[in-house]
Amino acid sequence: MIRLKDIHIDRKILKTLDRYIVGKFLGTFFFSIVLILSIGIVFDLTEHMDDFYETQISTWDIIFGYYIYFIPYYGNMFAPLFIFISVIFFTSKLAGNSEIIAMMATGMSFKRLMWPYLFSAIVLFIMQFLLAGYIIPPASEKLLTFYDHYINSFTEENARNIQMEVEPGTILYIETFRSATNTGYRTSLSTLTTRRSRCVSRPTVLCMTRRITGTWRTTPAAISTVCTRL
């Protein structure tokens, strides 16, 4: 009876130690990830404060239309790094307080000590799997929609590598376009001239500027023609 009672107490102690280690692991992880996300939100809010003010968006929309999707996206991105940091931090703290020595003194093996680590890793894996598979994809879509509508709503001063078909068989390419001056740089116009032989006339323009009347003023550089028989 004494032996059975002692075994029962030992098993209870092991379960208590498991909960203690799991709590330390997950507690350290969630504390660190909440801390880094809070800092990220502060920096992001500071960076986009002017954009929010110019668009006159409400605080409710900023919180529940942007940051509610911002948190799971970046939380899942930083999770692997902070899982690694959390394990090192709380394990070193356990070793520093001689708690691991006390666990080993009770007869706990090193393999048995790894079980709560494995359980915590499985919990975090399931959490990241659900986030990456079911929560983050629609959240990212809404996050990008908000970003394009209120932050990147075609307010960029420069655009690069623009290609458009101005008419059938004619392709306009602009390497850099500045909206402030309505000027495009290093542009070219490719034209398919014949059917049997693919002849492309490619006049290269150093810059082209849109006038108030809607016409374009160009500065030609060179004209090259490439022919390929089909």
SS3 128: helix
Low-confidence winner among 80-89, 129-138, 151-160, 215-224 (lowest mean pLDDT): 215-224
SS3 175: strand
Q: What angle do CA 143, 147, 150 make, to 5 degrees?
A: 130
Mean pLDDT of 177-187: 72
pLDDT at 4 over 50: no
Mean pLDDT of 14-39: 89
Percent of the chain with pLDDT over 90: 28
For 83-108, the pLDDT digits (tens) are: 999 999 988 988 888 888 888 888 87
Look up residue 57 and give its amino acid: I
181 and 211 Cβ atoms separated by less than 8 Å: no
Low-confidence winner among 6-10, 59-63, 216-220 (lowest mean pLDDT): 6-10
CA atoms within 13 A on the CB side of 190: 11
32 and 82 Cβ atoms separated by less than 8 Å: yes
Residue 2 confidence (pLDDT): 38
Residues forming a β-bridge with 217: 209
Which is more confidently placed, 216 or 131?
131
142 and 65 Cβ atoms separated by less than 8 Å: yes
For 113-139, the pLDDT digits (tens) are: 888 899 999 999 999 999 999 999 999
Percent of the chain with pLDDT over 70: 73
The neighbour count for residue 66, using CB atoms within 10 Å, is: 22
Helix, strand, coil shares, percent, the chain, to 5? 60, 25, 15
**Would you state the structure tokens that stand for residue 35, as one six-digit string?**
């801390």
Domain ranges in the chain? 2-151, 158-229
Answering whether pTM is above 0.85, one says no
